[in-house]
Structure 1
Amino acid sequence: MRSGRTHLGACILLAATTSLGVLPVPRSFAQVPPLVRSSSVPEPVARPEGSTDAPAPSAPPGRMGPGSQAIEGSNLETYKLLRYDEDYSALKDPSRRTDPLDVLKYIPLGDRDDRYLSLGGTARPRFEFNQNPFFGSAPSNSHGNNNDLVQRYMLHGDLHLGPNLRFFGQLQSGFETGLIGGPRPDVDVDRFDAHQAFLDLVRRWGEEGSNSLTLRPGRQEMSYGSGRLVDVREGANLRRSFDAARMLLKAGDWQVDGFWSKPVRNRPDVFDNDPNPHVSLWGVYAVHPLAVLPDGHTDLYYLGFENKQATYNQGKGGELRHSLGTRIWGRPMPWEYNLEYVAQFGRFGSGDIQAWTAANAVRYNFDKLPLRPRFGVRFDVASGDRNPRSPNLQTFNPLFPSGAYFNLANPIGPQNIIDLHPVLDLRFGEKVTTTADWNFFWRESLEDGIYSLSGAPIRPGTPSRARYVGSSPSFTAAWKATRHITVLASYVHFFTGQYLEENPPAKDIDYVTVWLDYMF
């Protein structure tokens, strides 16, 4: 039965391509020109053009925030993190169709150029080797190992019926084989379901319709800023979506997105995903140029969050949390910078919430040196609880963060943490990128414990009085083999520190993952 499920998603992609007579084969890949890096001028259709609608404010290419390794391992030189932001209207000109699969990207519907269907998809098998997961407290065999194979298959259709009406739908299948203890809830297994299904109603004004207001109700992915608080969870097997109502405004230099949403729970069977009845997310997110800084931009946002079943080291209770944040970022090459600051307040149980985070990242590109090294440093601090016996709570909540926050192993999450994170990227030609980095972790508060990426407490704050949690070096290599295929391999180690040694088990972690990401 499992083998039948395993091949269901592959059959979906196969049927979609064979029905149009464009089944991709290796010989076709050899005809595709090399990928063009974002710093170069691309071929006319080497990558999607910007969406004609007001896009959700998102990170610049090669973002320096959470999940950057997962981004490197996805073919985002050619495609976009949010597939609905891709715009293939330029392919109405047959001379710009340079790839065998371009026939799928612009399927005309009638005589009008702005009425067309665009198809796309993803297949990503991934192997994981994990020794001593969660420092030895998670299920494993007699050698401390827990290995698995996870698979992701996605297929989407983007229907444009003129400049003001659009439908977008995406199917998702995810499978897991071999994990001791069974698949991880919400992130591993979903046999078949609607991952996205939304409608765009657009009102345009100004010169050549440069300003627009878009109403977008339905199931959809959302990603804001550098993915620190709201992200699609690219690093996990199953991505994250929301049942939401959104209004997207593009007016002059302003992009403003207002929304109300509930996260979708990925369930293992067919068409059984549903909005989480206990959790809600709403807010306003705005992006505007910041002229006082070189290539400066600023994000200003408010996010409201409710969880009726929240759990912290302090205990369980209802949570109503408000986040006010700003992000200042730019790429005045060869420098890049990404600075983000968030204050949180609200109620947890019978107490008040007062929490915060500060995240700083800078990077310098040595493009004239061999291998074009790119060196950066991240320094993140997220507050922890000051007194577990008090009803008040100071633990920062990252809400819906990237699925690969510090590295692809995800041993801990960004709560009650101080993280110093140097990173070095090397580029071997246009197709191979390697990343070597090292995270150093300390507890921000000695009264609070550490948490998983999902927010679950994994070690208590006491009895240890140690601050040092440990360090985690990793090495990642990504090969963009063709326009459609990327191969990633990553190794992560975690050296446990005094805090974990005083809150055993405290075994060092070794983690290896390899995936092949095929996108069209």
Structure 2
Amino acid sequence: MRADIGPYIKELRAALLLRLIFLLLLPLPILAANDVRPTFEKTRYDEDWSLMRDPAQRIDFLDRSKFIALNTEGTNWLSLGGEARWHYDYIDNPGWGDDPQDPHGVLLERYLLHADLHLGRRLRVFGQLYSARENGRTGAPAPIDENRLDMQQAFADVVLGDGDNAAPMLRIGRQEMAYGSSRLIDVREGPNVRRSFEGARLLTQAGAWRTDVIAVRPVLAQVGNFDDKRDPDQALWGIYASNPALTQLPWGSGLDLYYLGYRHRSASFDQGTAAEQRHTIGARLWGDRGGWDWNWEFIGQGGRFGQGHIAAWSLSAETGHTWPEAKGLPRVGLSVNAASGDKDPNDDDLQSFNALFPRGNYFSELALLGPRNFVNLRPSISFQPARSVTMTADVDFFWRLETQDGIYSPSGGLLRSGQGSGARFVGTELSLSTAWNINSRWTLTAIYSRFISGRFIRETGSSSDIEYVELTLQAKF
């Protein structure tokens, strides 16, 4: 523990004072029940604020920034937006006691500002600046915690055709991506530094089918100013097709079908490190009807790892039921997930699943374990004590699928080798969360989690139980 925490407390108070000033300046709009306005999306370029062309749709002065006409016809226009997020978390016994302890927790803050320029119906330019800061972490800040100032997104959309909604569109440049349930490609919203890619996508719409052809490389986030760069060692390509309501399926379910190719010059698993080229095919079925909701996905993988062959898979089945007429809209859910692990570290072949670029908080906000070599069972219950408040309680049970493979972090790093124990049970995580949607711009969340170590953790090193507390306040405009 630090001998003198005075400077830290002083800096923390100053930071909180600046945040308070921001809170007072940013208005809290009160919307009527019949107001219709765009929602803030995870990828901000998906928002369409063209309705703000009508002054009657503007609630306060910030809405004026959502549609700034650049010509009298209104065909050229600019939309501005941004986000501020302040996140405090404290982890007791990180890494089950193996990792350095942050004595007072960590304060993470991030700010984004974007400009969305529309020039007629065939050209669009989108740019987004990003600043992420960390205070309180023991040791140097990690790349997912701090990125002082950089360009998160900078791309152009060129419509290949007459500019109607059905014309193909080419998106070129640095861009965020998120698909399906974010099991394979996501912006990584949970950590302080989001993920982006550089390359091109061809976006097409044919009826209800949206199809993206992808050819990109991930961006390596660096802590300094304007020093992020394209990763030369990794590449991602493929095609992702999605239909939100396929009438040929039972109950009009949504359907995703995809192929993703991936290459890494130096990929690491419990088995070792080698060049990896992996091919992924998958299908996702989701929807809701009569109070039931479902989200089921199967993924198969093949390819080569060094001199060996890859044969891996993952299965996810999330099902829930909500009682819409009951007070508080109670919902019970059950999630069953599994991903393959390597069966023999002494041969060349590899059966470990690779989730590519998944969401950072894959199972929970604690973001401890990742989707390789696991079986996971999670029952949950949630209800709404008020219209804008949702409370959730869940329990996660984790096992290793293969005893010859280890356990991994959400980013794919090896946490514990599987060579030190034949036990399968990894542990149990209890989580309680409350989310308050204050209004269309402000959200506040509070989370508590406790990970209780299982036999595998106890037999392979430090095994202290982990406790996690998180408070997050987020504002968007």
TM bin (shorter chain): over 0.9
Shift of 1:146: 6.6
1:44 maps to 36
1:489-518 alpha-carbon deviations (Å, 9 max, x no partner):
101100111111111111110000111101
In structure 2, C-alpha distance between the alignment counterparts of 1:157 and 1:339, rounded to whole Å: 36
Q: How does 1:439-450 map to 2 (within 5 A)?
A: 439-450=396-407
Q: How does 1:437-476 map to 2 (within 5 A)?
A: 437-476=394-433
Q: How does 1:217-366 map to 2 (within 5 A)?
A: 217-288=172-243, 289-290=245-246, 291-366=248-323
Give the conservation status (yes or no) of the 8 Å contact 1:322–1:344.
Answer: yes
Most deviating of 280-289 and 219-228: 280-289
In structure 2, C-alpha distance between the alignment counterparts of 1:136 and 1:405, rounded to whole Å: 22
1:380-416 alpha-carbon deviations (Å, 9 max, x no partner):
0000000000110000001100111111111111100
In structure 1, C-alpha distance between the alignment counterparts of 2:322 and 2:215, rounded to whole Å: 39
TM-score, normalised by the number of residues in structure 1? 0.86
Shift of 1:481: 1.6
Give the conservation status (yes or no) of the 8 Å contact 2:260–2:280.
Answer: yes
Residue from 47, 52, 61 that aligns with 1:86:
47
Shift of 1:430: 2.1
Q: How does 1:24-39 map to 2 (within 5 A)?
A: 25=24, 28-29=27-28, 31-33=29-31
Shift of 1:197: 0.3
Shift of 1:200: 0.4
Task: State the AA in 1 paired with 2:296.
Answer: L
The gaps in structure 2 that reach 5 residues or longer are 1-6
In structure 1, C-alpha distance between the alignment counterparts of 2:51 and 2:67, rounded to whole Å: 9
Shift of 1:312: 0.3
In structure 1, C-alpha distance between the alignment counterparts of 2:47 and 2:170, rounded to whole Å: 18
In structure 2, C-alpha distance between the alignment counterparts of 1:265 and 1:361, rounded to whole Å: 32
SS at match of 1:268: coil
Residue from 169, 187, 200 that aligns with 1:214:
169
Shift of 1:429: 2.2
Is 1:181 aligned to 2:136, yes or no?
A: no
1:169 maps to 127
Shift of 1:7: 9.8
1:507 maps to 464
Shift of 1:24: 7.4
Give the conservation status (yes or no) of the 8 Å contact 2:259–2:279.
Answer: yes
Superposed CA RMSD in Å reads: 2.4
Residue from 44, 48, 58 that aligns with 1:97:
58
1:309-328 alpha-carbon deviations (Å, 9 max, x no partner):
11100011111111011111
1:117 maps to 78
Structure 1 residues 134 and 79: alpha-carbon distance in aligned structure 2, compared to 1, 3 A threshold: same
Structure 1 residues 368 and 514: alpha-carbon distance in aligned structure 2, compared to 1, 3 A threshold: same
Give the conservation status (yes or no) of the 8 Å contact 1:246–1:259.
Answer: yes
2:3 maps to none
Most deviating of 192-201 and 293-302: 293-302
Structure 1 residues 319 and 511: alpha-carbon distance in aligned structure 2, compared to 1, 3 A threshold: same
Give the conservation status (yes or no) of the 8 Å contact 2:132–2:147.
Answer: yes
Task: State the AA in 2 paired with 1:249.
Answer: T
Give the conservation status (yes or no) of the 8 Å contact 2:153–2:175.
Answer: yes
Is 1:196 aligned to 2:188, yes or no?
A: no
Structure 1 residues 333 and 83: alpha-carbon distance in aligned structure 2, compared to 1, 3 A threshold: farther
In structure 1, C-alpha distance between the alignment counterparts of 2:222 and 2:447, rounded to whole Å: 28
TM-score, normalised by the number of residues in structure 2? 0.93
1:57 maps to none
In structure 1, C-alpha distance between the alignment counterparts of 2:255 and 2:70, rounded to whole Å: 40
1:62 maps to none
In structure 2, C-alpha distance between the alignment counterparts of 1:158 and 1:237, rounded to whole Å: 23
Residue from 392, 408, 413 that aligns with 2:370:
413
1:453-499 alpha-carbon deviations (Å, 9 max, x no partner):
11111111123111111110101111112321111110110011111
In structure 2, C-alpha distance between the alignment counterparts of 1:257 and 1:417, rounded to whole Å: 30
Identical-residue share of aligned pairs (%): 40
Give the conservation status (yes or no) of the 8 Å contact 1:89–1:114.
Answer: no
The gaps in structure 1 that reach 5 residues or longer are 15-22, 37-41, 49-77
Structure 1 residues 27 and 312: alpha-carbon distance in aligned structure 2, compared to 1, 3 A threshold: closer
Task: State the AA in 2 paired with 1:461.
Answer: G
In structure 1, C-alpha distance between the alignment counterparts of 2:219 and 2:340, rounded to whole Å: 28
Give the conservation status (yes or no) of the 8 Å contact 2:360–2:411.
Answer: no
Is 1:498 aligned to 2:472, yes or no?
A: no
2:4 maps to none
1:302-352 alpha-carbon deviations (Å, 9 max, x no partner):
011111111100011111111011111112241111110010011111111
Instruction: Give the number of the structure with larger relative contact order, counting CA–CA contacts within 8 Å between residues 6 or more apart.
Output: 1
SS at match of 1:418: strand
Give the conservation status (yes or no) of the 8 Å contact 1:146–1:180.
Answer: no
Structure 1 residues 265 and 333: alpha-carbon distance in aligned structure 2, compared to 1, 3 A threshold: farther
In structure 1, C-alpha distance between the alignment counterparts of 2:274 and 2:207, rounded to whole Å: 44
Is 1:131 aligned to 2:131, yes or no?
A: no
In structure 1, C-alpha distance between the alignment counterparts of 2:402 and 2:258, rounded to whole Å: 26
In structure 1, C-alpha distance between the alignment counterparts of 2:265 and 2:280, rounded to whole Å: 17
In structure 2, C-alpha distance between the alignment counterparts of 1:365 and 1:204, rounded to whole Å: 44
Structure 1 residues 140 and 25: alpha-carbon distance in aligned structure 2, compared to 1, 3 A threshold: closer
1:70 maps to none
Task: State the AA in 1 paired with 2:35.
Answer: E
In structure 1, C-alpha distance between the alignment counterparts of 2:79 and 2:448, rounded to whole Å: 37
1:66 maps to none
1:250-280 alpha-carbon deviations (Å, 9 max, x no partner):
0112211001111111111111000111111
Residue from 136, 157, 170 that aligns with 2:115:
157
In structure 1, C-alpha distance between the alignment counterparts of 2:104 and 2:232, rounded to whole Å: 32
SS at match of 1:407: coil
